[in-house]
Amino acid sequence: MNLDAKIYVAGHRGLVGSAIVRNLTAKGYSNLVFRTSQQLDLTRRDQVDLFFEEEEPEYVFLAAAKVGGIVANNDFPAEFIRDNLMIQTNVIDAAYQNGVKKLLFLGSTCIYPKLAAQPMREDSLLTGELEPTNEPYAIAKIAGIKMCQSYNRQYGTNFISIMPTNLYGPHDNFDLSSSHVLPALIRKFHEAKMNNAPTVEVWGTGTPKREFLYSDDLADAAIYLMNCYSGSDLVNIGMGKDISIKELAEKIGETVGYEGEIVFNASKPDGAPRKLVDINRLTSLGWQATTSLDEGLEMAYKWFLEHIEKNTMLTN
């Protein structure tokens, strides 16, 4: 991508999109275009078509999606499959119709089977049943991958798909009813510390293992691949190592400075037993993550204090 190329970042205010904007800006890309969801409803095809016709972006990072943790996926399955199918269908087809040079589609490692061999390779896609707690979201993302591959095959487009592991960082969702495990735990432990609560409850047994990648690392990988990779094969983006939820909770407790007891509620769902991605394809392309989990947690908690906690104090 030339530094003056017109680049559309869909979902620029979210965890991933905001990191991509920061990274592009730091690298000297100056012709960025984006819209808030109030300005452009990506579930509306007429609005998407008009935007692409007027702006004529050359490159698209499709980071807009309806996302959430186990609770949100369980409570709103219809919205997760409907909204994501509509967003990606509208944007991918509009990119083709308007001659976009290249599009990057953000998937998720939840596309892989619940019991996929670990670490999960890209070719394990569609080889087994999905994790039931986020199946509607996963099916939507699989459809997006297949749509990119199909357009490449039939129309000769240059649409690539990347599968990031669990992400965290600035602009994360810290709402306890809809967030993923890591930001939810940051908020839980912080509030417990502020309230001198003797215990913090963590859902599940604590035994499942998860991999976590700092959002700015994911953004760097996305821009690197936009510049250096073309093809229909998926590319996993991750650290290449994981940690148990129990160990994660302990690390977050230490980061926040909480000194009470951690209690695991085994009556709540664990989700998949393990979700570690194989990153051999990514490393063979020449990219590797640089932010350790300890460093990332410190930065994520600092951002939480500066933005979420401050706003909560102002509104209470």
User: Catalytic residue numbers?
Assistant: 137
Distance, CA of 180 to CA of 214 (rounded, Å) = 14
- State yes or no: 82 annotated in a binding site: no
- State yes or no: 16 annotated in a binding site: yes
- State yes or no: 190 annotated in a binding site: no
- State yes or no: 257 annotated in a binding site: no
Nearest CA among 163, 249, 153 for reference residue 201: 249
Residue 191 near residue 227 (C-beta atoms within 8 A): no
Q: Is the preceding omega at residue 77 within 30 degrees of 0, hence cis?
A: no
- State yes or no: 109 annotated in a binding site: yes
- State yes or no: 307 annotated in a binding site: no
- State yes or no: 185 annotated in a binding site: no
- State yes or no: 12 annotated in a binding site: yes
- State yes or no: 17 annotated in a binding site: yes
- State yes or no: 14 annotated in a binding site: yes
Binding residues for NADP(+): 11-17, 106-109, 141, 164-167, 180
Q: Please enumerate, by residue number, every residue annotated as part of a binding site.
A: 11-17, 106-109, 141, 164-167, 180, 188, 203, 210, 270
For the annotated binding site for substrate, the residues are 188, 203, 210, 270
